[in-house]
Amino acid sequence: MVSKNSAHTTKPNSEQKPSQAQTSDNNMKATHYGFNPTYHEDGPNREDLASISGYAILEFGTNWCGHCKNAVSATKAVLSEQTLPHIKVIDGQGKRLGRSFKVKLWPTLILLKSGQEIARTVRPLTPEDVSQLLEHIPPEQR
């Protein structure tokens, strides 16, 4: 899907049963429930993400990025009302996690279910852009 303000959302094939998100404490310092205000250098690796049971939002960007700063209000408006984990990690050259998800632009928000990508949005500008991610979660699981 492409919204009129240039945020992009895509949905890979995945029809898994939903469950409550749970994260391990190993190397998940970048995780907050609800809105996470800060990108963290010490983010999780793929194995940590695979240990998540349920839904989570994984966000790539940097604290100095103009597009990332512009997306804060939209992201905060939607995720502040949620209880799912918001994992916010610094991305850039040589960052393996971002490359493994083929991140090209910041910010990129990825909806994960049990560590697997369900959907993503790139450079969201409005709360509706971020809400499109949550539409992939069954209503009873939000």
9 confidence band (pLDDT: 50, 70, 90): very low
Rounded alpha-carbon distances, angstroms, from residue 117 to 16, 63, 69, 81, 88: 11, 23, 24, 22, 15
57 by DSSP, 3-state: which?
Answer: strand
The token pair at 41 is 């250098």
Could you tell me the strand order of the sheet in which 116-122 lies?
8-10, 116-122, 108-113, 55-61, 85-90, 31-33
Distances (CA, A) of 93 to 13, 17, 105, 123: 28, 35, 12, 19
For 87-137, the pLDDT digits (tens) are 999 999 989 999 999 999 999 999 999 999 999 999 999 999 999 999 999
Mean pLDDT of the chain: 85
Could you give the angle at the alpha carbon of 79 between the alpha carbons of 74 and 82, nearest 5°? 155
pLDDT higher than 80, residue 5: no
Domains, the chain, ordered by start:
23-141 (3.40.30.10)
Express each pLDDT in 58-75 by its tens digit.
Answer: 999 999 999 999 999 999
Higher pLDDT, 85 or 19: 85
Cα atoms found within 13 Å of the Cα of residue 106, Cβ hemisphere only:
21
